[in-house]
Structure 1
Amino acid sequence: MDLQISVFLLFVLFTAGNGTIITAKSCALPNGCPSGSINLGIGKIASTCCNTNLCNSLDAPDPAIVPNGKKCYYCDGQSCSNTLSCSGSEESCFAATGKFESQPIAVKGCVSTSICNFVSIIGAFVDGVSCCSGNLCNSAKSVTQSFLFLCCSLLSFILLH
């Protein structure tokens, strides 16, 4: 029997200034469970892993909200020139591009380095994913559309399958 790790996924969507929290719990293989978070400006996805029996029966821990000094660009509608203050373990910036229903999309924001280490897996679902470590290193290029669902789907797929 393969060892499995329990995982919490915590989705926080910011709409009209209010946060909506959605949690998911599951099991994953040890090498498929990065702990960390992705902050998209309009939403945040945090995953936490544990490795004891029924350890995910408790509530998921709240994601860190204290700014850590890192700044990255994020996309909102037609523009990817918005700046975002990263928090907690989000020490890298990221940019991902792809297509959804034949429309080009871009997603940018802050990310934990542990999540960036899964770029090769995520890269199978989108045209390009990159992580960088400097402030505002993920450039402010405008795009046709940005899409929170893409990142939620990709991270869920990686952690829950």
Structure 2
Amino acid sequence: MYLLTLVLGIVLLPEAFTLRCYECTSAQTGTCTETTKQCPSEKNQCAAQRLVSYAGSSKLLDVTGKSCAVSEECGELVIDYGVSRTVISSKCCNSDLCNTQPAPEPSKTNPNGKKCFSCNGQTCTTTLNCQGNEDRCISTIMNVGNEKVTLKGCASKAICTNMEFAQMTGAIGAEMSCCQGDYCNSASSTSAGLMLLVAPLISLVLS
């Protein structure tokens, strides 16, 4: 009897210690319809998330979500292409149904001294001063119709190492690469697009 109890305890232990988190089913700020979800074992945090996209000082998009998360997704994930800047703020916690409060607005940031190339019109030779935790340069190439579109800029390490985002970016036919060091995302002549990769970011918030 004791042996059976021990075996059942070992088998059921991973399930017993996975978190339950609130999950959002709506992408509109302020109308997050909450359900509860049993998290997979690799996602050991509950998160309230907020994605905000800016063009200059204008806010173009503001999306909220709640979900299970891995610790690497907590904090702020940023992609800054110069023409647009998208920030995912994730407020994380590690107890059952703890993600009750909404994620905050992205924090105000200042230039951090790192410089990357960004695209402006037909060329990608513009200097972009990275801000806050943007410690990588990024290049993204995708096909739009018969045209190859390139976006360059600054990004946070967490964007570059997030496997889910990389898979979603690949699913829309985009190639993304990150590097360290000033101007390491070398200049090239191309067309620039605006906010082409916001859809995978929204999927990341709502996944």
Provide TM-score, normalisation by structure 2. 0.67
Distance 1:101 1:27, change over 3 A: farther
Q: Does 1:77 align with 2:121?
A: yes
Paired AA for residue 91 in structure 2? C
| Bigger radius of gyration among the two | 2
Distance 1:152 1:63, change over 3 A: farther
What secondary structure does 2:143 align onto? Answer: strand
- CA apart distance, 1:59: 4.6
Aligned to 1:91: 135
Q: Equivalences for 1:11-160 in 2 at 5 Å?
A: 11-14=53-56, 19-21=57-59, 22-31=61-70, 33=73, 35-51=76-92, 52-56=98-102, 59-64=104-109, 66-118=110-162, 120-121=166-167, 122-143=169-190, 145-160=191-206
CA–CA distance in structure 2, aligned partners of residues 7 and 82 of structure 1: 31
What secondary structure does 2:38 align onto? Answer: coil
- CA apart distance, 1:156: 1.5
CA–CA distance in structure 2, aligned partners of residues 136 and 124 of structure 1: 27
Which gives a bigger RCO, structure 1 or 2 (Cα 8 Å, sep 6+)?
1
What secondary structure does 1:155 align onto? Answer: helix
What stretches of structure 1 move > 6 A for 4+ residues in a row? none
Kept after mapping to 2: 8 A contact 1:38/1:46: yes
Aligned residues: 154
CA RMSD of aligned residues (A): 2.0
- CA apart distance, 1:158: 2.3
- CA apart distance, 1:123: 2.9
Long gaps (5+) in structure 1 = none
Kept after mapping to 1: 8 A contact 2:73/2:158: no
Identity of aligned residues (%): 27
Long gaps (5+) in structure 2 = 1-36, 40-45, 93-97
CA–CA distance in structure 1, aligned partners of residues 84 and 176 of structure 2: 18
CA–CA distance in structure 2, aligned partners of residues 80 and 113 of structure 1: 22
